[in-house]
A and B are shown apart, each in its own frame.
Chain A
Amino acid sequence: MSDARVATFPEGIPMSPVPTSPAGDAVDPVTVVLLLPEVLGTYGDAGNAAVLATRLRWRGIPARVLTVGWTDAVPADGDLYVLGGGEDAAQVLACDRLRDSIGLRRALDRGAPTLAVCAGLQVLGTSFTIADGTRVAGLGALDLETRPGGGPRRIGDVVADPLLEGLDGPLEGFENHGGLTELGPDAAPLARLREPARQGGAGNGPGGLEGAVSDRGHGNVVGTYLHGPVLARNPVLADLLLTRAVGELPPLVLPEGLPTATAERLRGRRRVCGDVRSGARRRAGA
């Protein structure tokens, strides 16, 4: 994500720069570690890291995104970790690469807040089986197992009611995956889909549960099938992860010059978006 910028409205109203650290340069920025976006980044999920860092900056807390590329070591001392989605081959590749990472192992062991989306969720599980039947050992940070679902991929915009304390109001996102995920005793579901049969997605599988939260240790690993990116569409979930990382959050001070409706969404007071059928109506009623 870019640093502070001054942009100008068509009307000529200047947009205020993103606030920087009140304490000046002496403060170490909060580090959001984005893992392997070149293999786990085909669904825009890198945006989750940008959302986390930007929401800290909008609160006057210096923050940065540290991108870990294929040949980079994973730092053990990051403040938050983000994994995205990817196709089968990319997922196997990412899993092989991350399984041997001492840095990531240490970060997960000490309970660093971590968001893992889709392929990322499966990689952090105990194992997953890809379409050709190969079973791959995961990192075991989430007690869950994924098998091929057979039949069509589960694709579509979904709305789900959170089952995690600290989240109120529905979560939403775009699902696009083939695997069925079963949670073990040490994982709890993140949410439950509303009327899964009527939506394109199906959550983890039969029963309409969505995502997983580790029940072991610190409970700071959150997995989900929701794209969007999920934190852009659900700012409340972003703030929950940030709270786990840095404690109570100062109030959000948004840049000036944002459309009012957008500012409301960024504050988490309105749903960020909707599907094409309801989106226009919702805007018209704004």
Chain B
Amino acid sequence: MTLRRPARLPVRARAAVVAARVVSGAARRAGRHGSVIGGRVATMVDRRVLARLAAERTVVLVTGTNGKTTTTSMIARVLGGAGHEVATNHLGANMPDGITTALLDALASSAGTAGSGSVAVMEVDESYLGEVAAATDPRVIVLLNFSRDQLDRVGEVRTVARRVGDAVAAHPTARVVAFADDVLCAGAGFSAAAPLWVSSPSRWNGDAGVCPRCDGPVEHAGVRWACSACGLARPDGDWTLVEEGGTATVRGPDGTATTLDLQLPGHVNRLNATFALAVGAELGVEPAVAAGRLRDLAQVGGRYRTVTRPGGTTRLLLAKNPAGWAQVLDLLDEGPARPVVVAVNSREADGRDVSWLWDVEFERLARHPLVAAGERAADLSVRLAYAGVGHRLADDAVAATRDTVGDVDLVGNYTAFHDATRALT
């Protein structure tokens, strides 16, 4: 393994890199997750290691409630095709230690290709954007959306969005690419001097009743929204996703129109791709070239992966909150009424509270044969009963897919999805 970059790092940082390598190697050999431990150790040796590792890279940070992993993966693809070396936290470890680890891994594997053209595309947990941006001096910050997710763990979504806005305001040199249709996201995006707005018809506005600027009432008319107290309103999109008759077109600020042809399903991924095209253009990749690089992307960390089993296939989908579910329901509406297995857990990483199930329009699954599974299957079953949707209970989500003939979708929230992914590997 050639180690080029440490030579250019200060002594303390070099020691940090070596320590991290020893520890994460040991963790991997022991079968433990090596995705954060290296960064944790390196940070203990050198508090500024993240800043030093990021110093010579063009950094793109991606945050928001839903779609971070997929959009990060898309942006990395768009930028990576340009011959740049791209570091990214593809394992989804999106807090500072995980991001440091991803940069350390890139350092180890770059073998001298890293240079002034190298890029880092990192997804960042919403609560850590300020800290990570302060260390990495990002060139681009992407704000996808803000909605209710695990309230009992990360606090109120408005507080989270306000802190993101503060982080944006603290980095005036970063170009902010933000979602105009989401009230809280736009509120944070307005903290930047010249944000680029992404827009598309959105069906979710559940957390958008109160103005992020003045706490006045926000009213909606179709995709438009405005605060009736201070006048804060949806900005016009610079990058707009237009979907007509089965064709998805991304219109750019200079009048470009790029047709999307994705393997990843659903409106949500066409929207994620719109963000990727916007970021690509900002960093010099033509939209048509960017769209071409997204065509072959078929799964992201197991999301949307289709597994073949005797008698049919199982497609794996992640939905961990009402907004995520709204996107999955849109996706399922596009296809045939195939069986759906829904698995819901409430472990620490999922959030202990499952009342969010009542903000999901499960009524829309009435045409699908349905199975309720996961550790909170009983709560889910009660919700489905009140929705008037027939279903059966199963102890094990993956076993339930095997009991079904034909093509099945398995939708899980965070740990339920990862359990299923592991079981189907």
Contact = CB atoms under 8 A, between A and B. Distances in A.
Contacts of A13: 390
Interface stretch (A1-9, A121-129, A215-223, A239-247): A1-9
Interface string A12-46: 01110010000000000000000010110111111
Contact of B385 (A14, A174, A262): A262
B392 A10 contact: yes
A36 B217 CA distance: 11
Contacts of A14: 390
Interface in B181-232: 205-210, 215-217, 219
Interface in B356-382: 356-359, 363, 366, 369-372, 375-379, 381-382
Nearest to B148: A42
For chain B, the bracket of interface size reads 35 or more
A82 to B, nearest CB: 12
A278 B316 CA distance: 27
B386 A283 contact: no
A8 B369 contact: yes
Interface stretch (B55-63, B283-291, B346-354): B346-354
Given A262-B385, A276-B346, A276-B376, A90 B355 contact: no
A33 B273 CA distance: 41
B382 A266 contact: yes
A259 B391 contact: yes
Contacts, number: 170
B210 A18 contact: no
B326 to A, nearest CB: 14
Given A8-B369, A87-B210, A176 B382 contact: no
A233 B217 CA distance: 31
A89 B355 contact: no
Nearest to A227: B355
Contact of B346 (A2, A5, A275): A275
B333 interface: no
B355 A228 contact: yes
A43 B355 contact: yes
A202 interface: no
A10 B358 CA distance: 23
Interface string A78-120: 0000000011111011000100000000000000000000000
Given A258-B385, A259-B391, A71 B352 contact: no
Nearest to A46: B358
B215 A54 contact: no
Interface string A253-270: 011011101110110000
B145 interface: no
Interface string A43-60: 111110011001000000
A27 B205 CA distance: 35
Interface stretch (B4-12, B151-159, B262-270): B151-159
Contacts of A43: 151, 353, 355
Contacts of A4: 388
A266 B339 contact: no
A89 B158 contact: yes
B347 A276 contact: yes
A233 B140 CA distance: 45
A227 B353 CA distance: 9
A155 interface: yes
A247 B377 CA distance: 33
A1 B158 CA distance: 27
A169 to B, nearest CB: 16
B66 to A, nearest CB: 16
Nearest to B220: A38
Nearest to A270: B378
B395 interface: yes
Nearest to A54: B386
Contact of A38 (B208, B355, B392): B208
A259 B376 contact: no
B19 interface: no
Nearest to A262: B381
Contacts of A254: 385
B219 A10 contact: no
A279 B378 contact: yes
A93 B215 CA distance: 7
B389 to A, nearest CB: 5
A70 B366 CA distance: 30
B386 A87 contact: no
Contacts of B23: none
B355 A8 contact: no
A197 interface: no
Listed from nearest, the 6 A-B pairs whose CB atoms lie closest are: A47-B358, A7-B390, A44-B358, A44-B355, A38-B209, A15-B390
27 contacts: A2-B387, A4-B388, A7-B389, A7-B391, A9-B369, A14-B390, A38-B205, A38-B208, A41-B206, A43-B353, A44-B359, A45-B358, A46-B358, A70-B217, A87-B157, A93-B215, A156-B352, A157-B352, A174-B152, A227-B353, A254-B385, A258-B381, A259-B372, A262-B381, A262-B393, A263-B385, A276-B352
Interface of B: 148, 151-152, 156-158, 205-210, 215-217, 219, 339, 345-347, 352-359, 363, 366, 369-372, 375-379, 381-383, 385-393, 395, 404
Interface of A: 1-2, 4-5, 7-11, 13-15, 18, 36, 38-39, 41-47, 50-51, 54, 70-71, 86-90, 92-93, 97, 155-157, 174, 176, 227-229, 232-233, 254-255, 257-259, 261-263, 265-266, 272-273, 275-276, 279-280, 282-283
